[in-house]
Amino acid sequence: MSSSRAAWCSAGRPRGAQHKEYREYNAVKAHFRRAMRRCGEQFMTELEHKLEYDSVHDSVSFWRTVNLRKRGSGADIGGGINFDGNMYRSREEITEQWTKYFKDLYTPSSYPDFDSHWEYVVGQEVEQT
């Protein structure tokens, strides 16, 4: 895949089906994505069979596998989160930006369908907690 990408880049990154490098690079990318999808599906099928077998024959292995699979999404937020075009990386900055987002979301608006009664109800709930 890297050689077809290099060829596409050296050709000036042309776009459109009339360019040979573009067609080849897209074909290689599509093949790679299909292969990755097949591998993922195969892994999940094997895991499903393993869990099915272990649930009957080896409860220790079953629960070990289940507990390892349920531990979070594994998403890496180390790269940061983008708010309004600015990248925030620390937990404090990200929390502060989410706070601003939700404050803005529930701030009275000039829209005609703004529900001030609902704002009052939510405000009362927040004060009680």
Q: Which pLDDT tens digit goes with each residue over 97-107?
A: 988 888 877 67
pTM, to two decimals: 0.46
How far are the Cα atoms of 37, 50, 85, 105 from residue 94, in angstroms, in the given order? 32, 39, 13, 16
State mean pLDDT over 23-31. Answer: 90
Length of the chain: 129
pLDDT at position 106: 65
Tens of pLDDT, residue by residue over 60-96, are: 988 888 888 886 665 565 677 888 888 888 888 888 9
| Dist CA 112 CA 75 (whole Å) | 39
DSSP class per residue in 62-75? HHHHHHHHTS----
Runs of H (alpha helix) within the chain? 2-10, 20-57, 59-69, 91-105, 116-128
